[in-house]
Amino acid sequence: MTATDTTAAELTGSMRNGVDTATLFATLDAVKAAPEAAKFQFRATNEWLSGTHNRSTIADFYGVGEERVHEHTFTFDADHPAVLVGRDNGPTPVEFVLHALAACLTAGLANIAAARGIKLTQVRSTVTGDIDLNGILGLNPEVRNGYERITVRFAIHGDAPAEKLRELVEQSRARSAVYDVITNRVPVTIEVETN
Amino acid sequence: MTATDTTAAELTGSMRNGVDTATLFATLDAVKAAPEAAKFQFRATNEWLSGTHNRSTIADFYGVGEERVHEHTFTFDADHPAVLVGRDNGPTPVEFVLHALAACLTAGLANIAAARGIKLTQVRSTVTGDIDLNGILGLNPEVRNGYERITVRFAIHGDAPAEKLRELVEQSRARSAVYDVITNRVPVTIEVETN
């Protein structure tokens, strides 16, 4: 937390773990009253650069009834390492999936802890994904293309008993968008324009 | 492609789309001869910063029989936008999933085009994900936490007929690790350490 994170909310006691719980509960009430506000569309645009190297831009999204822009335009390079015939200009696409999972579970955890009055002091996690590339290389039809398994290891410290800290992780898992995407199916449509 | 991408491989004609096809085919032959080389483990470590803001580091992985490090250590911040009670210090975790999908399909496409002797001139894509946050907010048990649907729109240009360019996308989809992760289930185990 930086000095600029200190706000009126913090002074009035509604700020916990860097989460403005008053705003969090007000947001929940607002969506309860107008469920359509919760319909979001997120977007990434990608441009191929060379070989396995490409770059995505994340700038705008739709939510709470209107088009919105992030405060910054974010760009991310992806590539394969040399051992996978790339130039290592960025992580592999599958590594970004692990980051997304860690980030989603951790964000949820901080919100849930704040809502439950638990002060977190440190949250760290390591996510590992095991993959057999015989799948994507087309060398063994019995091997899937994606991860065989993913393991998340959390180390959590805060002002609550171990049992309560573990319950935060369980609730975060139960409400995680990325966990749902990875452990359940999402239909994907692909359209192609050529000329 | 930059000037430094011009290599002996390019001069001998094995370089196409920035892919060294000679190395690509040699890698396939090597894995055919020693399938264990294709067992990889990718990793991300994440640290909570404040509220929904956290940061992942991607540095090392295991593959081709040994521990390896990326040429650079990559770090990525994730956060929620203000409208979702965050500070917009990075994209949301679910947006990284869209980037990962675009990047994976695009990397595969460039490799497959190179292997098939097709020269690509431009590949762009936009990935959109529709999500109803009544799920993660716990306001409607009938709404899932993750994306309801994801749509990928490719615009591809190259020296092949439209039909051949479309076949590249189809083959990339059929061999994409991230597409498989999103459209099929991956088992995720979560472990928690507290003290």
| Residue A150 contacts residue A131 (beta carbons within 8 Å) | no
Q: Which residues in chain A have Cβ-Cβ distances shorter than 8 Å to B157? A: 194-195
**pLDDT tens column, A11-35:** 567 899 999 999 999 999 999 999 9
- Interface A-B, measured as beta-carbon pairs within 8 A, has a size of 483
Of A76, A81, A178, the CB nearest to B93: A178
Contact yes or no for A188 and B130 at CB 8 A = no
- Overall pTM > 0.90: yes
pLDDT at B169: 98
Identify the pLDDT of residue A5.
52
The distance of B187 to chain A (nearest Cα, Å) reads 5
DSSP string, A138-178: TS-TTS-SS-SEEEEEEEEEESS-HHHHHHHHHHHHHT-HH
Average pLDDT over residues A144-163: 98
pLDDT, one tens digit for every residue, chain B (195 residues): 444 455 556 556 789 999 999 999 999 999 999 999 999 999 999 999 999 999 999 999 999 999 999 999 999 999 999 999 999 999 999 999 999 999 999 999 999 999 999 999 999 999 999 999 999 999 999 999 999 999 999 999 999 999 999 999 999 999 999 999 999 999 999 999 997
Type of residue at B45: T
For residues B58 and B73, the answer to whether their CB atoms sit within 8 Å is: yes
Query: Is A78–B99 a contact, with Cβ atoms under 8 angstroms apart?
Result: yes
Query: What's residue A172's pLDDT?
Result: 98
Q: Which two tokens stand for residue A76?
A: 């991310």
* Cα distance between residue A87 and residue B114, in whole Å: 16
pLDDT given at position A1: 41
Match 């860097």 to its residue by tokens: A18
CA–CA gap between residue A10 and residue A89 (Å, rounded): 41
